[in-house]
Structure 1
Amino acid sequence: MKSAFRMNNFDLLRLLAATQAAGCRTHLRCEHAADAPVRFVYRERMTVDASLPVCGLRVERGVGWVRIDHPPKHLVDGAFMGALVAVLDRAERDTAVHVLVFESADPDFFMMHGDVEGIMRMPHNPDPATEPNLAEAIFERVRRFPKPTIGMIDGHARGGGSEFLSALDMRFAGPRTVLGQPEVPMGILPGAGGTQFLARLVGRARALEIILGGGDVYADEAAAIGYVNRVVPSAELRSFVATLAERIAAWPPEAVQAAKRAIDAGIYAAEPQFITETNEFRSLINARGHIAPMQRFLDAGGQTREGETTRMDAIIDAMRNPDMARPAD
């Protein structure tokens, strides 16, 4: 089926969620004219997806537990976005949900990152952005979600996975946690809100160190700089998060949500500059030779489970500009 329509980003994300729930794979082409709203042309190819739901929700003691199960790599991709929008819609409507906790079914990855191969296939777009891109829109919705949100992590979350975590209200980490933003070594930048969210968590200088350095941030350092709230032993992590979430869920929801809004009004007195982030991302994607650094990342073992759990430092090192001399040890 082929159809054309106009919609904003949130409507499009709801379309993705609906088509995924119906077993559809949705293919989208973006069209727009200078004096008209963005128009998305899509076609659906009906397929049966026998995999587990990407984001399952269960409610216990006022806490909505969202279990992310997106094998084989836990990529932040269209399927994840659609499922996330669906679970946000459900949790926002459900009056039994007072706090939302996100956890991973994968012992190694909370979320890996965006699909680098998909980014490499992105078409050039010379036109300046007039609204946030889809990833920014959904993660900004996560940030603005009226009920408190918590991330429980004891594995890897880089790139888009880190950006998603940074959009949550609180993050509690086990000792196996590894965070990072490896986009700049790949010749791009964090394009899902990372340049905006991370600086508010850790400050400008630390955000520059993390984003420009491209290296990993381990659990204890992440807690020390505010990337996560605190580190909790793995065996105690679930109990700790459940106790806090249930405690918050026991208070009057109007007071909880009002307090969250008041805090955000100060922290986010200036709105996140997503359009700047999107335009900078587009300029890098449009540049000649932009594919080469991302291909080096894949060739070195990036976007593989083994590579990203055991030798990410070597993978990042392999992405150095070949024209630049290596620094002295």
Structure 2
Amino acid sequence: MADDFEFLTVERAGRLATVTIDNPPVNVISMALFGELLQLANMLKYDDTLTVVVFRSANPDFFLAHFDVAAILERSTTGNAQRDAQLKPYHMLCEQFRTMNKIIIGQIEGRIGGGGSELAANFDMRFGVRGKTRVNQMEVPLGIIPGGTGTQRLPRLLGRGRAMELILSGDDMDAETAERWGYLNRIFEAAEITPFVDNLARRIASFSPHAVHVAKESMNNVERPWHEGLIEEAYLFEGLLRTDESQRNMRKFLEIGGQTPEGEQRIDALNAELGDP
């Protein structure tokens, strides 16, 4: 993958890519960084050699701040607001990460806020640091609202009441609360987060890319009515069942001790044996 960005560094290891954000001093989403994120999303979407993408920050104190307020002030305010039929570019960016057939993981070690928080809310997983990660939606105090999926994604992620508190208060949500409310999957001590995220990302990347992609596709159907989601789940299951890879892995599972008392007690280790080295 070409790495010709100014604010992003992309490193590859097999089916895993790590993206480091670096826009000093606080990783504000400038128009230039926004453009690079759009370019990156398009590159990742069409790269069939990748399964997992991890986002990190070069600055451990700031993961990704809000959109550049100075740039927002430059937007035209003449005439009445219009209701568009199409998604705005930032919505499209968030949707790309939410729906692309890659697993997107955010390693959020410091502050995240505004549009940065909205973008990360569309990732598949988010991990933070105990006593350090802080989330803030600062739009309402500025007289606007979260306009980058926040009023739609955060209620789905946290629940309506908790999203209301986060969005309307302008208060920080600390790491412990973010984990308890579901914004963060887990929190770690600072020295523990990178080894955990690295191991998790490599483990997922070792498994069947097609199975991983289809699992995400099926889980995204949670946005659809229950009955439709179940019908689609059954269809996707049957499709995977017909692949040579699934047949081979299920036979290997039985050969290495699956469905025996000893094997079932260490099923996580058996699962690891089914992945690529």
Gaps of 5+ in 1: 1-20, 22-51, 271-329
1:117-158 per-position Cα deviation (integer Å, ceiling 9, x unaligned): 221222115222222221111111111121110000110001
> Which runs of structure 1 show a deviation greater than 4 angstroms over 4 or more consecutive aligned residues?
none
Alignment partners' CA distance in 2, 1:191 and 1:212:
14
Alpha-carbon offset, residue 95 of structure 1? 3.3
Alignment partners' CA distance in 2, 1:91 and 1:122:
29
Alpha-carbon offset, residue 189 of structure 1? 0.2
SS of 1:96 mapped into structure 2: coil
Of 27, 30, 33, 1:80 maps to 33
Alignment partners' CA distance in 2, 1:130 and 1:205:
29
RMSD of aligned Cα (Å): 1.5
Indicate the residue corresponding to 1:111 in structure 2. 64
Residue 173 of structure 2 corresponds to residue 211 of structure 1: no
TM-score, normalization by structure 2: 0.75
More helix per residue: 2
Q: Is the 8 A contact 2:51 2:101 kept in 1?
A: no
Indicate the residue corresponding to 2:55 in structure 1. 102
Distance 1:88 1:128, change over 3 A: closer
SS of 1:85 mapped into structure 2: helix
Q: Is the 8 A contact 2:45 2:102 kept in 1?
A: yes
Alignment partners' CA distance in 1, 2:93 and 2:47:
19
Alpha-carbon offset, residue 96 of structure 1? 3.1
Alignment partners' CA distance in 1, 2:49 and 2:195:
20
Paired residue type of 1:156: R
Residue 42 of structure 2 corresponds to residue 89 of structure 1: yes
Alignment partners' CA distance in 2, 1:131 and 1:94:
26
Alignment partners' CA distance in 2, 1:97 and 1:229:
22
SS of 2:12 mapped into structure 1: strand
Q: After TM superposition, list the pairs within 5 Å mapping 1:45-84 onto structure 2.
A: 53-84=6-37
SS of 1:191 mapped into structure 2: coil
SS of 2:11 mapped into structure 1: strand
Q: Is the 8 A contact 1:151 1:170 kept in 2?
A: yes
Gaps of 5+ in 2: 226-277
Alignment partners' CA distance in 1, 2:49 and 2:215:
19
Of 166, 175, 186, 2:121 maps to 166
Residue 193 of structure 2 corresponds to residue 237 of structure 1: yes
Alignment partners' CA distance in 2, 1:165 and 1:119:
20
Indicate the residue corresponding to 1:10 in structure 2. none
Paired residue type of 2:188: V
Paired residue type of 1:211: I
TM-score, normalization by structure 1: 0.64
Q: After TM superposition, list the pairs within 5 Å mapping 1:147-166 onto structure 2.
A: 147-166=102-121
Indicate the residue corresponding to 1:143 in structure 2. 98
Alpha-carbon offset, residue 84 of structure 1? 1.3
Alpha-carbon offset, residue 103 of structure 1? 0.4
Alpha-carbon offset, residue 217 of structure 1? 0.3
Q: Is the 8 A contact 2:41 2:93 kept in 1?
A: no
Alignment partners' CA distance in 2, 1:55 and 1:192:
20
